[in-house]
Amino acid sequence: MYLHPPDPDLAERLRSVSRRWGGDFEVLGIEDWRGLIRTFDGTVVHLTMYGMPLDRVAARIRSSARVLLVIGGAKVPFEIYERADYNVAVGAQPHSEVAAVALALDRLVGPVAPRRFSGGSVRIRPSARGKRVEERGSRV
């Protein structure tokens, strides 16, 4: 994930989650978001409540080899609407950007479901009633 403005503390917190839980999720702080979206070699998808329904374009986006999802805050510069290959909506009313990312990943990469990530030192064992966590060390 590229993050603007950069936030080293947040990046480090997420890195430590990856170390503990596995997977290779990374946060990279960037200053020049304009340069990134201008030169990105792939499909730029901007999530916005003003866009076209995601389900109508999801199949086309899925056929791209590389996708950059763009999620803005309260005031999104208009050039992002112009540069984006797709402006897409998961909802046409005000809604959480986090919810939009979750649903977009579900439709474009997913389906999102509990899964194991490689590496890490702990794993959850799904449980109907309670918390079961497996420590790597405890199985040696």
Given the rule CB under 8 A, which residues bind a copy of itself? 17, 21-23, 49-55, 78, 81-82, 84, 86-87, 89-94, 96, 98-103, 106, 111-117, 123-124, 126-133
- How far apart are CB 71 and a copy of itself at their closest, in Å? 12
| Pairwise CA distance, residues 95 & 55, whole Å | 17
Least separation in angstroms between CB 29 and a copy of itself: 20
Q: Which is nearer to a copy of itself, 63 or 127 (CB)?
A: 127
Measured in whole angstroms, how far is the alpha carbon of residue 21 from the centre of its chain?
17
Give me the least distance between CB of 31 and a copy of itself, in Å please: 26
Q: From residue 18, how far is each of 9, 14, 22, 79, 85 by CA, in Å?
A: 14, 6, 5, 33, 31
